[in-house]
Structure 1
Amino acid sequence: MSRHSIRRLLVGLCTLTAASQAATALALAVPADQHRATHSAARAVRPQTLSDLTTAMKGEGFAYASYNLYGTQADREGHPAMGKLFRATAQTELNEHLREAATLAGVVGTDAANLRQAIDGETYEHQIMYRGFADQARKDGDLEAAKLFSEIASDEGRHRDAFRTALAVVTTGHGTIPAAPKAATVPVSAGLPKVKAARTKANLDTAMHGEGLAHANYMLFAARARQTGNPALARLFEGTAGVELHEHFAEEAVLAGLVSTTKENLHKAVSGEHNEATNLYPGFAKRATAAGDTAAAGYFRDTAADESKHAAAFQEALNKLP
């Protein structure tokens, strides 16, 4: 998609389910982050644990995208060591924390199941989420955001159509997988928010979390496609993932004023990592333990310990700044 976890206009309308996401009505009733974080296979973990794993994946996907932007900003300011720290931490969030959560949640299925997930998510974002965000931004006077949300909604529709075509090819063995979209990298420099309404700011945050998770999940789906001997499908997922990250997330980050000075970015990173280490993940671990989901509980505890180390590393870097 040229827009495209965050995936929440209709949050609360329904809970995560182990049933198939095939029906269009259900696809439109469930937020896109839930579609992207699940497939139709039966779950080994309890619904609350699955919900917590989804929240974790959204946070880790957002951290990956944000920290890479913070790293670029640090380089601009002449702090290469801090840029390296941000990028290294981003890789841990994506390639360890998010992937481990995805395994526990059973995110990746067959190529056909993965395409159905993608279609459901893109349909929701195209028909409901981004259109709703655009209407709200327009009413609140944030016209630039309204325009961006509308453009991304259109992108998501094109992504959905490409995935539908790919699903037909995968299920019938006839036809050609669509060519992968090419992402244009949008630069994101330090700056103040370009929107004024609290609702628009919240919707941008939701959208960025969605794009971060979409990027991560599509890369997982791409890896699965390569394992099954379908490089064309892998390229489609990878290209769409690039659009989600380098265009949609980046464009939303510009409007949200996500990137600040390196000093301010480090402050945000310390605060976020500390919260995950002391509140978020320990709480998830406690619930998973009570539910008997021991593997998930262990994951949450281990990730909390990692986030504590991240917080300490960011604080050490912060202490070196004047």
Structure 2
Amino acid sequence: MVPFSKRALVTGAFTLVLSVPAGGAFAMPALSDDGSSDGPQVRVSNSQTLADLAQSMRGEAFASASYRLYAKQARREGLPSVGRLFERTADVELGEHFKEEAALSGLVGSDAANLRDAVSGETYESQKMYPGFAQQARADGDSAAATRFSEIARDEGVHRGEFSTALHVVESGQGSVPAPSKVEEPTQVPAGPPKVQAQRTKANLDTAMHGEALAYAKYRLYAEHAENPAVARLFRGNAQVERREHFADEAKLAGLVGTTRSNLTKAISGERYESRTMYPTFAKRAKEAGDTGAATRFSHNAKDEARHAQAFQKALDRLS
């Protein structure tokens, strides 16, 4: 993963659901890079383990979204094999690690529970977080960021309305679930420096990117487990807006993407931190708390991340 603030848990935007959801948690086999399975997940309840799962899920979602942008940059530089490496790793981070940790935390519930979570997150972002970020960016002279924050706030307000309507339909059995928002034109994020100056704006962009990446990952899971096909379509559609527009726009402002050499260097640092420090620490705490399933998963993920770091290092060495 990419070590943004060493994967610090960002509070506020799209807070992870750590209590038992209305529809119960889903169980799934835990897969690794080699496709092996550790058997069904058992949901945990220890508060520290849940906090560690929340932090790691946020990091896995962010890594996956970032690596997809790095893959596109590698292809721009005529390095398709590096692009494929970033894409494969992004798939593992989101499709395996995030999913496995979500199962342990009991993230996914019924359609109604998932829609309520989405409404809560979109309300916070549209009414508090993004308007506040816009005001601060404007005060700090980052007018482009202020404008984009305000535009995203309006988008999230639309999403809030769509999810609220869908929730009414699910709970009342009356009406129709609205069609999702659409990605008009995916934002391209080539290598480039930050387009903002203030440290506060840069920090707010980091928070926002983590929130958008997490929303994308959560909505994808909510869609996958939706009982109502129309609710699944709504989650899938809005997930695309979160990653391909909002996350990408913020990444462009933040200068997230560098040259492939710098992207690989950053990825190596993040993967090594997680494999050597973060996941081993989480595994030790989970074991001490009696959460053996989570401890096993954290330890397994540490091994996966070490392999990712090695693969990225080999790719970087070939560029030398």
Global fold match (TM > 0.5)? yes
Q: 1:220 and 1:37, CA in 2 relative to 1: closer, same or farther beyond 3 A?
A: farther
Matches within 5 A, 1:162-311: 162-183=162-183, 184-225=185-226, 228=227, 230-311=228-309
The 1:162/1:36 distance shift into structure 2, 3 A limit, reads farther
Distance 2:151 2:20 in 1: 28
Q: TM-score, normalised by structure 1?
A: 0.88
CA distance 1:37–1:276, change in 2 (3 Å): same
Q: Which amino acid aligns with 2:68?
A: N
Deviation of residue 44 (structure 1)?
3.4
Report what 1:97 is aligned to. 97
How far has the Cα of 1:238 moved from its partner?
A: 0.3
Letter of the 1:224 counterpart: H
Residue equivalent to 1:58: 58
> Any idea what SS the aligned residue of 1:78 has?
coil
| 8 Å Cα contact 1:35-1:118 kept in structure 2 | no
Cα deviation for residue 313 of structure 1 reads: 0.3
**8 Å Cα contact 2:8/2:55 also seen in 1:** no
Distance 1:196 1:37 in 2: 36
Q: 1:130 to 1:305 in 2, by over 3 A?
A: same
Instruction: Tell me the amino acid that sits aligned with residue 32 of structure 1.
Output: A
Unpaired runs of 5+ residues, structure 2, are 1-6, 25-42
Cα distance in structure 2, aligned partners of 1:164 and 1:35: 19
TM-score with structure 2 length normalisation? 0.89
C-alpha contact (below 8 Å) 2:21/2:110 kept by paired residues: no
Residue 33 of structure 1 deviates from its aligned partner by: 2.9
Residues of 1 paired with 2:19 and 2:13: CA distance? 10
Counterpart of 1:231, as a letter, is P
Partner SS, residue 15 of structure 2:
helix
Letter matched to residue 243 of structure 2:
L
Report how far residue 67 of structure 1 moved: 0.5
2:14 and 2:187 mapped to 1: Cα distance? 23
Q: Describe the superposition over 1:247-304 as per-residue Cα deviations: whole angstroms up to 9, x where unpaired.
A: 0000000000000000000000100100010111111111111211111111111101
Partner of 2:69: 69
Task: Output the amino acid matched with 1:304.
Answer: A
Aligned 8 A contact 1:33 1:121 in 2: yes
What SS does structure 2 have at the residue aligned with 1:320?
helix
After superposition, residues 15-26 of structure 1 pair within 5 angstroms as none
How far is 1:38 from its partner? 5.8
Once residues 89 and 18 of structure 2 are traced to their aligned partners in structure 1, the CA distance between those partners, rounded to angstroms, is 22
For the 8 Å contact 1:74–1:82, the answer to whether it is kept is: yes
Cα RMSD between the aligned structures?
Answer: 1.7
- Give the counterpart letter for 1:128 in structure 2: K
Matched, 1:106 2:106: yes
Residues in 2 aligned to 1:37 and 1:135: alpha-carbon distance in whole angstroms? 31
Helix, strand or coil at the partner of 1:290: helix
Residue 120 of structure 1 corresponds to which residue in structure 2?
Answer: 120
SS in structure 2 opposite 1:34? coil
1:185 and 1:7 map into 2 onto residues whose CA distance is 28
Q: Is the 8 A contact 1:190 1:257 kept in 2?
A: yes
How many Å apart are 1:39 and its aligned residue?
5.9
CA distance in 1, matches of 2:287, 2:66: 31
Instruction: Work out whether residues 32 and 120 of structure 1, in 8 Å CA contact, stay in contact via their aligned partners in 2.
Output: no
Identity of aligned residues (%): 58
Q: In 2 relative to 1, CA 220–296 (structure 1 residues): closer, same or farther, beyond 3 Å?
A: same
Q: Spell out, residue by residue over 1:198-243, the C-alpha distance to the aligned partner (whole angstroms, 9 max, x if none).
A: 1111111111111111001001110111xx2x21111100000000
Partners of 1:243 and 1:320 lie apart in 2 by: 35
